[in-house]
Structure 1
Amino acid sequence: MDVISLAVIGLLIVLSPGADLVLMMKNSLNAGRRAGLWTALGISLAIGVHIGYSLLGLSYLLTENLKLFNIIKYLGAAYLIYMGIKNIVTAKTSLAAPQNSKDNLHYFQYLYQGFLCNLLNPKTMLFFISLFSQLVSSSNNSWFFPLSYGAYIAVLHLLWFSSLAILLTYLPFKTRLSLLKTCLNRLCGGALIILGSLLAIRG
């Protein structure tokens, strides 16, 4: 594949809606901009992990060991369903972000959520395994181009989700959304449950 095609593929990966988008929206709307930015960072860091094991050859283990792959798939599905149920149960909580310094430590939980949400998604795993196996084979065992492309995808994820977090917490926009906060929380929770259920059911 040429550079332009790969660049377009990278953009499509980032823009395609999924669990990452729903989680980032939920955290941004419920806990504020910093929570959304931490979530975006967690998603981006997980992309780095996908790239790392694809380049190191661990992808072979995942593709050949069906039991291991299924364990990861069901863990990811259970996590999404858990987050969805939690969001529905707490749908009426305030959108205000924590104010005191001790609560700032809680922002790391959003990084952790974004990281796990992306890391435990087997569809993301399969995509990177298939794409990077082709990149490595076409690069004559040179890791420079695959690593550069991987960095490009990770940065795209960070920029895209960070931009959305900033947009969603822009005061005039957030004020309007706050009027629908309970409905939006339940919609996000329902979406996570559906995504998790589909992930568990489909092969």
Structure 2
Amino acid sequence: MEWISLALLGLLIVISPGADFILVLRNTLQQGRTAGIWAAVGISAAITVHISYSILGIGYLISQNLFLFQCLKYLGAAYLVYLGIKGFLTSGSAMDTQSTRQEDQAYWKLALQGWLCNALNPKTMLFFVSIFSQVISPDGENIKLALIYGSYMILLHALWFILVAILFTSQPLQSRLMKMKKRLEQACGIALISFGALLAVKA
């Protein structure tokens, strides 16, 4: 597969709406720009996990083992449902007090949320396994190129989701979003629950 095609495919995968996008949007709406950025950091850090097992071949083995794959699938689905329920129940919470913002913005927890959301997604796992099967040759000569592509995907995830956090806290959008903040947060919660449910029931 040509590298330009791989680069474009990676870009399309990253910007397509999914659980990662919903999580960053939810955290941004609830706790502000910094919360969204830290979730983005966690998401991009999780890409290193997918790259590692794809290069080592572990991802392929998991995808071929029904029991392990099912365990991963249900674990990821349960976490998305948990995030969705939590987001729905806490929608409309106040953002204006300094003490509330400092308490909510435990940065490592926000980054961990993003990391788990991405790392436990079996669809992301299968994407990276399928892509790296095209990048890495059977004799392993393309490992360096695979690492370059992996670094590109890490950077792409970080830049895109940080951009999402910045855009949704920009001044032109801020006043409009605040008027429908509770509904947007509830929609994000329902979307995460739906992603989790569909992930669990899909064969």
- The answer, yes or no, to whether TM exceeds 0.5 is yes
| Residue identity matched to 1:90 | T
Q: Is the 8 A contact 1:80 1:196 kept in 2?
A: yes
Aligned to 2:10: 10
Q: Is the 8 A contact 2:31 2:101 kept in 1?
A: no
- For residues 108 and 88 of structure 1, what CA distance do their matches in structure 2 show? 22
Aligned to 2:106: 106
Aligned to 1:125: 125
With structure 2 as the length reference, what TM-score do the two structures score? 0.93
The alpha carbon displacement at 1:2 in A equals: 1.1
SS in structure 1 of the partner of residue 136 of structure 2: helix
- Structure 1 residues 117-146: Cα deviation after superposition (integer angstroms, max 9, x where no partner): 001100000111111122112785331100
With structure 1 as the length reference, what TM-score do the two structures score? 0.93
Provide the aligned length of Structure 1 versus Structure 2: 203
Judged with a 3 Å threshold, the aligned counterparts in structure 2 of structure 1 residues 106 and 181 are, in CA distance, closer, same or farther, namely: same
Output the aligned Cα RMSD: 1.9
- For residues 202 and 37 of structure 2, what CA distance do their matches in structure 1 show? 31
| Residue identity matched to 1:73 | K
Aligned to 1:198: 198
Aligned to 2:135: 135
SS in structure 2 of the partner of residue 17 of structure 1: coil
Aligned to 1:74: 74
Taking the TM superposition and a 5 Å limit, the aligned residue runs for 1:1-203 are 1-96=1-96, 99=99, 103=103, 106-137=106-137, 140-203=140-203
Q: Is the 8 A contact 2:35 2:105 kept in 1?
A: no
The alpha carbon displacement at 1:9 in A equals: 0.7
SS in structure 1 of the partner of residue 26 of structure 2: helix
- For residues 190 and 102 of structure 2, what CA distance do their matches in structure 1 show? 31
| Residue identity matched to 1:148 | I
- Structure 1 residues 83-114: Cα deviation after superposition (integer angstroms, max 9, x where no partner): 11111111121234755896486121110110
